[in-house]
Structure 1
Amino acid sequence: MDELDLLKKDWQRKGDYFPKVSSDEIHQMIWKKSSSIVKWIFIISILEFIIPHLFYLFPPSMQLKEGFEMYDRMGITPWFIGASVLQYSIIFYFLYQFYRRYKEISVLDNAKALMAKILKTKKTVTYYIITSLTFLFMTCVFIAGYFYFMDDIEQVLQLPENAKKISPTKLKNIFAGSILVLGIIATVCFGGLYYLIYGLLLRKLNRNFRELKKMEM
């Protein structure tokens, strides 16, 4: 139970004996909570960007090197570079938007202005989640499609001799199907993770929004 809930409970229990709290003080409390929530959204988004990149350090650059060798064999290095530029552009765009949402919430705002900024933050987070999950799934669909229409899959993947006994058509179906299934699983897992983390923060923002709306009525 947070500060505002405790205050309401005391009001109900003590009635007129409890010191009166002005709407400005309630607004200040809701502003502090909302500002803290938006700050956490910004921090989590930064961590979400940094943590996966730490894996490239163990061992240093080996994963990147092996990855680029695979992309060269597949002939998709230009596509990979283009997709990476697009991905980082999207990430930095939303990081900037989260930072803006945090800076926009000002203690001098009235309840109506704060409500508008809460709604804007909710929309930004929703667009971020939809964009991230769509990009992840479409990347997996592209790679699966590429494997399915690949002509020299054995040479590109440098498969061992026992795997070469399998027909190319079957290999294509196996790799394409596996990547597609993994893409669906990854999208669902990340969607669940986003729902737990960002969803929790958005629910708290929703509560603040409802409290502000009551103040305006």
Structure 2
Amino acid sequence: MSDFNLDDLKKSWQQQDSQSKYAPSEISQMLHKKSRNYVKYIFYISAVEFLIFFGLSIFYIFKAENDSSFLNILKKLGVTPTSELQQSFSHLYIGLKIVSLIITAYFVVQFYLNYKKIKIQDNLKLLILQIVKFRKTVNAFIFTNIALLILFMVVSTVFIFNIFTTQNISLSHPTLIAFLIGLTLTTLLAVGLIWIYYKIVYGIIMRRLGRNLSELQKIDSE
């Protein structure tokens, strides 16, 4: 008869206890619930962002002097602020704001639809596919906002060049060159700040969601 080893018995019992503590289905359900909550958080954050941008846009659109600061800069560059110029800038400003709001609203709706699709009764493979799709949507939202900021800078630059050409002002004006350099640096700084914001606010949630996705994929492969 072999010798009785208490340490081996305790080790075997501990391993058996930890393995049977949660069934794979229970772990999957907990991960599913957490993932649903993370998607909900992203939706809430994006909805708040949209409401803030919408409120600011409405405020500046109806503010009488919304274009005065930009026109004052153009005056310093030697541009004559005609009524046609003011009207063109007003249309451009409103157009860019509307495009920005439409795109942001589109992604808010997408986040909401993703949230509604992740349900407890969904099978594991479908849940994994939905999480992967949601992560792609979040990445698209981040890069679209950065692209919009760059687009605004490009459109503003083209608008200024068009004004200078129309009013026969030299494009080699030192003040214009300094302004364009400042505009480029400001845009790059803004892009950096937006990237940092999304990496912190969205990144924390997305990393946790990514860990859930990895665990769910492990369960699915077993």
TMscore range, shorter length: 0.7 to 0.9
Output the CA distance in 1 between the equivalents of 2:93 and 2:28.
48
Matches within 5 A, 1:23-172: 23-52=24-53, 64-69=63-68, 73=86, 75-151=88-164, 169-172=173-176
Distance change (3 Å), C-alpha of 1:86 and 1:63: closer
- From the CA coordinates, give the structure whose radius of gyration is larger: 2
Instruction: For 2:177, give the aligned amino acid.
Output: N
Instruction: For 2:65, give the aligned amino acid.
Output: E
Contact 2:50/2:105 (8 A) holds in 1: no
Asked if 1:194 corresponds to 2:210, the answer is: no
Find the counterpart in structure 2 of residue 14 from structure 1: 14
Per the TM alignment, residue 104 of structure 1 is displaced from its structure 2 partner at its CA by 0.5
Pick from 180, 183, 186 the counterpart of residue 179 of structure 1. Answer: 183
Contact 1:98/1:121 (8 A) holds in 2: yes
Residue deviations 1:164-206 (CA, integer Å, cap 9, x gap): xxx9812211222211110111011101111111122111111
Distance change (3 Å), C-alpha of 1:119 and 1:61: closer
Q: Which has the higher contact order (CA 8 A, sep 6+)?
A: 2
Output the CA distance in 1 between the equivalents of 2:36 and 2:111.
12
Instruction: For 1:127, give the aligned amino acid.
Output: A
Distance change (3 Å), C-alpha of 1:114 and 1:146: same
Contact 2:124/2:216 (8 A) holds in 1: yes
Residue deviations 1:122-177 (CA, integer Å, cap 9, x gap): 0110110111100011202322343355439xxxxxxxxxxxxxx98122112222
Distance change (3 Å), C-alpha of 1:24 and 1:68: same
Per the TM alignment, residue 44 of structure 1 is displaced from its structure 2 partner at its CA by 0.8
Output the CA distance in 2 between the equivalents of 1:55 and 1:13.
62
Contact 1:136/1:187 (8 A) holds in 2: yes
Find the counterpart in structure 2 of residue 163 from structure 1: none
Contact 1:56/1:64 (8 A) holds in 2: no
Instruction: For 1:186, give the aligned amino acid.
Output: A
Output the CA distance in 2 between the equivalents of 1:95 and 1:62.
22
Instruction: For 1:46, give the aligned amino acid.
Output: A
Percent same amino acid among aligned pairs? Answer: 28
Structure 1, unaligned runs of 5 or more: 1-11, 153-166
Larger mean CA deviation between 168-177 and 132-141 belongs to 168-177
Residue deviations 1:8-50 (CA, integer Å, cap 9, x gap): xxxx993223453222211110011101100000011112223
Output the CA distance in 2 between the equivalents of 1:150 and 1:202.
44
Distance change (3 Å), C-alpha of 1:207 and 1:91: same
Contact 2:149/2:187 (8 A) holds in 1: yes
Residue deviations 1:80-128 (CA, integer Å, cap 9, x gap): 2222221111011000000001111000012111100100100110110
Structure 2, unaligned runs of 5 or more: 1-11, 72-84, 166-170
Contact 2:50/2:101 (8 A) holds in 1: no
TM-score (norm 2): 0.75
- Number of residues of Structure 1 aligned to a counterpart in Structure 2: 191
